[in-house]
Amino acid sequence: MQINDLKITTPRKKRKTVGRGGKKGTYCGKGCKGQKARSGAHVDPLFEGGRSTLIDHMKKKKGFKVHRAKPVVIKFIALTKKFKNGDEITLEALVKHNLLKGVEACQGVKVLGPKVGKFEFSFSENILASKSIVGERETIENK
């Protein structure tokens, strides 16, 4: 048996460092001065050094749009040419008379324009009509 054949059965204890710790040297792995070099340092993870975040930039960006489909606008004059006086106007009827494409029906429909002649139409619930066409009484009753 030689000395190089001997093995330690119990593991060695880890060497304790005193004070600021050994084997770290001058700045102790914290770099030079600054907020993160101080004791008890904590920087907010969302802080980006004072610049505006991406979300803030999106608010300020010119022309930032909300992606929501707007209702299809149909003029009252077009309705007078395709429908008879007293007809009920529904989405299906508008598609049938080629005033609206079937794909556009899910976006909603809005009827605009001044009332022409003595035409009176009744509109279904999912069609918005301006006050000048329907009259103020009916718009209040529908709400």
Secondary structure (H, E, C), 21-82: CCCCCCCCCCCCCCHHHCCCCCCCCCCCCCCCCHHHHHHHCCCCCCCCCCCEEEEHHHHHHH
Domain enclosing residue 80, as ranges:
72-142
pLDDT of residue 2: 92
| Structural domain contains residue 81 | yes
* Averaged pLDDT for residues 124-142: 69
| Structural domain contains residue 18 | no
* Averaged pLDDT for residues 87-107: 88
pLDDT of residue 141: 52
| Structural domain contains residue 8 | no
| Structural domain contains residue 87 | yes
Q: How confident is the model at residue 133 (pLDDT cuts 50, 70, 90)?
A: confident
Q: Which of 8-22, 65-79, 95-109 has the lowest mean pLDDT?
A: 8-22
List the structure tokens of 39. Answer: 């004791």
| Structural domain contains residue 78 | yes
| Structural domain contains residue 127 | yes
The C-alpha atoms of residue 93 and residue 123 are separated, in whole angstroms, by 11
Number of compact structural domains in the chain: 1
